[in-house]
């Protein structure tokens, strides 16, 4: 059920303008991409532009907007695609705001990665530069997603940026899992739910560039069908997994995250930094998957719009940071040993994702899940050596040291 | 806590002779190996011979014995190593019989694999032929194991043969898991347990040779401390994961297994063949890990000695079968595409082992577990391609067909 979409409805643009009061720029048709090749390379298809100012909304009210945004495909929710839905004068529900935000993040990040791939691929024939493959899929049980993957490229061995918007009935084991996290949900029946999110894992080829992962999600569970009463929360985070320790690169990352957090609540950074260190823990090896970042879940205080602004602010730091790292390191030299070490670390990455990661488990257990999208987080190649050991004092052992004992980087 | 052992006690030989009434051949010192290199290559250390006839005991009472067996290291249980234990005239408890059986399987299989590795490695300098590394380890909470790994060889990319004999207190979640399988165990307190087993996973380099896995285990749980009452059961199985479908090879495998089963109970083969197909199921992909074999668990009928003979009989089919396959295919040609396909299938192998395999989960959750031994089942290299697809009618699709719809091979 993969559908490649070629049009973007003006209505979204209108909605966003109405909602946020930005100027509506209408249908600016642009093609940011040089190539127009096969039909499954949606990236290269010109789309109508949109103004989605809220994506750049920061808490200091210094709003900006992008006047030439295209999505990778049509939004998932019918309501956002339908001309007949009349949003005029109505407040756009958070689930739709969040879906549009996810699409925006996906689009911006894919575009940046694609431009890096083009910049660092020495090809005379442009058409041979690897492109993002875009798959828009539907879930029989409700909802769907858009999966964008660039694989086996020059800079990126595997780069995946997914959005999914799924709804349906929450199965009892999932409810039980949420109750065990402190949610007060009735446990006697399946509950209607909606989950929207964007998630990304980028495995670069050069071991000097860390793997990056981020995810932002919004959850709604209807607890009372009659009154329409529901619970909602935000979750997400961003973290990096370096192969070669570069302290400046890590400090810069944490500094940017802290500054995004501090604009909203000065407790956020220390709390979510620790949460991240605790979460990405490969228990059997007693080491972390990477050098951390932020992780948060179940956020429902102080209110929806403030939390949404916080989430968008964090998301907004990622692409510029990562693009600058890639730009600096894409051609930096590395040894055969560096590459081997990278593949071994990728094996640990796989271990975390398949054994411990809650998102992967939840994904694979959800009826009608699209496993290809869930497992896009796995690297193109990984390696497991029995009793691999690193020489004392080596750069590998320096990395292991911070994976075993997380540091304060800011 | 890795100890390399260089001696083998005469007492074991004596025990086995007493137990089974075979002639005791005493201390026949032999070195089956051409090389004697580093201290961690225990393989090449001459050991005292043993007669362990029960390993070859078949149900038709046609007993044979090996007069020159060496183990890879000293048995785990102190009782089997101690000269002061007086077994004379006593029946050897099953836990010790089973431990010796595990050691015997390990030794025989490692020796066969090593001989294949030597035969097919074109090295003028013998010392460069890859050897089994032997690690004897202790578990702080009780027991230990012997892990034998040959890695990055000519024939074998990774070959692991483990034994472990662990004992201690069964944690409540493990008891709960057993109760859910139908064991009537008290759930109000931790219970003393003992688990002995041998397990092996062999990942060859040539895609014409399937990966093989086997495991045999014996479990004891003490349900009443005062009366010493306990429950026991056997589990295990063997299955292969081909990369290129060779129907004759598979039929031969199943035929041999059926014949080993039929000697004990004609219901065993159909029952355990189906159990195997059901167990090694990668649910999210709706395909099996391989083309099956046998899988059984919780066997406690009709009695210990009959079941033990069944287990030894199944175990006994493996090494001759696999050695003949390796011998036939070790130099058979394959393409780059075959190798890529093999790596992709290995990715699925990793998925099964880390997401679904009960043994891996139980292992990693056991306090004091040695993760290196548990994760030896993972291949040296694996690959994940987004939406990998195979051409219709190709040999890859023929394989997928039998992984999706298990066949009757006999």
Q: Is the pLDDT of residue B22 over 50?
A: no
Q: Is the pLDDT of residue B134 over 60?
A: yes
Which residue is closest to A364 within chain B, CA to CA?
B284
DSSP per-residue string spanning A254-278? HHHHHHHHHTT-TTHHHHHHHHHHH
Q: What stretches of A51-166 show up as alpha helix (H) in DSSP?
A: 78-81, 94-119
Interface contact B376-A386, CB threshold 8 A: yes
**What whole-number percentage of chain B has pLDDT above 90?**
67
Q: May I ask the CATH class of domain A98-404?
A: alpha beta
Give the lowest-confidence range in A41-55, A191-205, A231-245, B357-371. A41-55
Q: Is the pLDDT of residue A183 over 90?
A: no
Rounded to whole angstroms, the Cα distance separating B377 from A267 reads: 44
Q: Is the pLDDT of residue A30 over 80?
A: no
pLDDT of residue B178: 86
Q: Are B371 and A284 spatial neighbours (Cβ–Cβ below 8 Å)? A: yes
Q: Which of A220-224, B66-70, B305-309 has the highest mean pLDDT?
A: B305-309
Contact list in A for residue B135 (CB cut-off 8 A) is 387
Interface contact B284-A371, CB threshold 8 A: yes
Q: Is the pLDDT of residue A21 over 50?
A: no
pLDDT of residue A401: 98
Contact list in A for residue B375 (CB cut-off 8 A) is 351, 384
Mean residue pLDDT across chain A? 84
Q: Is the pLDDT of residue B14 over 90?
A: no
What ipTM describes this predicted complex?
A: 0.85
Q: Is the pLDDT of residue A34 over 50?
A: no
pLDDT of residue B60: 36
User: How large is the average pLDDT for residues B15-30?
Assistant: 32
Q: What angle separates helix A247-262 from helix A304-329, to the nearest 10 degrees? A: 160
Q: Is the pLDDT of residue A56 over 60?
A: no
CB atoms within 10 A of CB A358: 12
Mean residue pLDDT across chain B? 84
pLDDT band at residue B180 using 50, 70 and 90 as cut-offs: confident
Give, as one character, the DSSP assignment of residue B147. E
**Domains of chain B, residue spans:** 113-404
Interface contact B133-A386, CB threshold 8 A: yes
Give the lowest-confidence range in B98-102, B139-143, B271-275. B139-143
Q: Which residue has the higher pLDDT, B295 or B181?
A: B295
pLDDT of residue B5: 36
Q: Is the minimum CB–CB distance between A293 and chain B shorter than 8 Å?
A: no
Q: Is the minimum CB–CB distance between B161 and chain A shorter than 8 Å?
A: no
| Selection from A298, A370, A148 nearest residue B284 by Cα | A370
Q: How many Å lie between the alpha carbon of A247 and the closest alpha carbon of chain B?
A: 30
pLDDT of residue B172: 82
Q: What letters, b where the CB count within 10 A reaches 16 and e where it falls short, cover B175-184?
A: bebbeeeebe
Which residue is closest to A361 within chain B, CA to CA?
B355
H helix or E strand, kind and range, residue B383: strand B381-383
User: How large is the average pLDDT for residues B178-195?
Assistant: 87
pLDDT of residue B123: 78
Q: Which of B355, B374, B381 is closest, CB to CB, to A383?
A: B381
Q: If you count residue pairs, one on A and one on B, with CB atoms under 8 Å apart, how many are there?
A: 81
For the stretch B192-235, pLDDT in tens is 999 999 999 999 999 999 999 999 999 999 988 788 889 999 99
For the stretch A240-289, pLDDT in tens is 999 999 999 999 999 999 999 999 999 999 999 999 999 999 999 999 99
Q: List the 75-114 stretch of B: residues with Cβ below 8 A of A.
A: none
CB atoms within 10 A of CB A229: 10
User: How large is the average pLDDT for residues A325-354?
Assistant: 97
pLDDT band at residue A301 using 50, 70 and 90 as cut-offs: very high
Contact list in B for residue A135 (CB cut-off 8 A) is 387
Best mutation target among B382, B383, B388, B389 (most A Cβ atoms within 10 Å) is B382
Q: Is the minimum CB–CB distance between B358 and chain A shorter than 8 Å?
A: no
pLDDT band at residue B44 using 50, 70 and 90 as cut-offs: very low
pLDDT of residue B84: 66
**Is B356 strand, coil or helix?**
helix
Write the CB contacts of B272 (distance below 8 Å, at least 6 apart in sequence). Answer: B237, B261, B294, B295, B296
Give the pair of three-digit tokens for residue B204. Answer: 């060859």
**Is A315 strand, coil or helix?**
helix
| Selection from B312, B260, B314, B305 nearest residue B53 by Cα | B312
Q: Which residue has the higher pLDDT, B395 or B61?
A: B395
User: How large is the average pLDDT for residues B159-172?
Assistant: 92
B113-404 has CATH 3.40.1500.10 classification: yes
Rounded to whole angstroms, the Cα distance separating A365 from A239 reads: 24
pLDDT of residue B47: 30
Q: How many Å lie between the alpha carbon of B381 and the closest alpha carbon of chain A?
A: 4
* pTM of the model as a whole: 0.85
Q: Which of B152, B350, B385 is closest, CB to CB, to A350?
A: B350
Q: Is the pLDDT of residue B99 over 80?
A: yes
pLDDT of residue A84: 65
Q: Is the pLDDT of residue B80 over 90?
A: no
Q: Is the pLDDT of residue B242 over 50?
A: yes
pLDDT band at residue A47 using 50, 70 and 90 as cut-offs: very low
Q: Is the pLDDT of residue A11 over 90?
A: no
Contact list in A for residue B355 (CB cut-off 8 A) is 354-355, 364
Rounded to whole angstroms, the Cα distance separating B374 from B382 reads: 17
Interface contact A379-B380, CB threshold 8 A: no
Rounded to whole angstroms, the Cα distance separating A154 from B123 reads: 37
Give the pair of three-digit tokens for residue A286. Answer: 């007693």
By the 10 Å C-beta count (0-12 exposed, 13-18 middle, 19+ buried), B125 is classed as: exposed
Give the pair of three-digit tokens for residue A91. Answer: 């407040």
pLDDT of residue A127: 83
Give the lowest-confidence range in A384-398, B20-34, B96-110. B20-34
A170, B246, B248, B277, B313 from B409: Cα distances, Å: 41, 12, 9, 12, 20
For the stretch A127-176, pLDDT in tens is 889 999 999 999 998 999 999 999 999 999 999 999 999 999 887 878 88
For the stretch B259-313, pLDDT in tens is 999 999 999 999 999 999 999 999 999 999 999 999 999 999 999 999 999 999 9
Contact list in A for residue B285 (CB cut-off 8 A) is 371
Best mutation target among A150, A366, A382 (most B Cβ atoms within 10 Å) is A382
pLDDT of residue A122: 84
Q: Which of B369, B379, B386 is closest, CB to CB, to A384?
A: B379
Q: Which of A63-72, A116-125, B298-307 has the highest mean pLDDT?
A: B298-307
Q: How many Å lie between the alpha carbon of A370 and the closest alpha carbon of chain B?
A: 9
């Amino acid at each position: 059920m993969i559908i490649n979409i070629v049009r973007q409805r003006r209505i979204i643009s209108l909605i966003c303008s109405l909602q946020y009061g930005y100027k509506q720029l209408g249908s600016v048709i642009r093609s940011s991409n040089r190539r127009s090749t096969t039909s499954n390379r949606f990236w290269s298809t010109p789309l109508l532009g949109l103004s989605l100012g809220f994506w750049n909304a920061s808490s200091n009210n210094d709003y900006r907007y992008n006047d030439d945004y295209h999505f990778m495909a049509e939004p998932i929710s019918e309501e956002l695609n339908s001309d007949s839905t009349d949003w005029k004068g109505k407040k756009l529900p958070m689930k739709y705001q969040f879906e549009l935000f996810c699409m925006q993040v996906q689009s911006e990040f894919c575009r940046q990665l694609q431009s890096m791939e083009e910049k660092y691929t020495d090809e005379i024939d442009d058409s041979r530069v690897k492109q993002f493959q875009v798959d828009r899929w539907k879930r029989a049980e409700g909802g769907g997603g858009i999966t964008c993957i660039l694989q086996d490229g020059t800079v990126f061995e595997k780069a995946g940026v997914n959005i999914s918007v799924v709804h349906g009935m929450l199965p009892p084991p999932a409810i039980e899992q949420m109750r065990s996290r402190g949610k007060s949900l009735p446990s006697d029946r399946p509950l209607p739910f909606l989950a929207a999110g964007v998630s990304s894992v980028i495995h670069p080829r050069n071991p000097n560039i860390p793997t990056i992962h981020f995810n932002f999600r919004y959850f709604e569970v209807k607890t009372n069908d009659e009154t329409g009463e529901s619970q909602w929360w935000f979750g997400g985070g961003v973290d990096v997994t370096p192969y070669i320790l570069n302290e400046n690169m890590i400090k810069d990352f944490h500094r940017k995250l802290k500054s995004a957090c501090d604009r909203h609540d000065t407790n956020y950074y220390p709390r979510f930094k620790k949460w991240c260190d605790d979460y990405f823990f490969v228990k059997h090896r007693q080491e972390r998957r990477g050098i951390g970042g932020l992780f948060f879940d179940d956020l429902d205080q102080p209110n929806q719009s403030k939390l949404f602004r916080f989430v968008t602010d964090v998301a907004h730091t990622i692409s510029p940071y990562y693009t600058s790292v890639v730009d600096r390191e894409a051609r930096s030299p590395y040894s055969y040993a560096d590459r081997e070490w990278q593949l071994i670390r990728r094996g640990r990455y796989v271990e975390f994702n398949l054994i411990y990661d809650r998102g992967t488990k939840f994904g694979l257990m959800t009826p009608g899940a699209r496993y290809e999208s869930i497992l896009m987080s796995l690297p193109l190649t990984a390696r497991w050596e029995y009793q691999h050991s690193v020489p004392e004092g080596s750069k590998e052992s320096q990395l292991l040291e911070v994976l075993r004992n997380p540091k304060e980087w800011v």
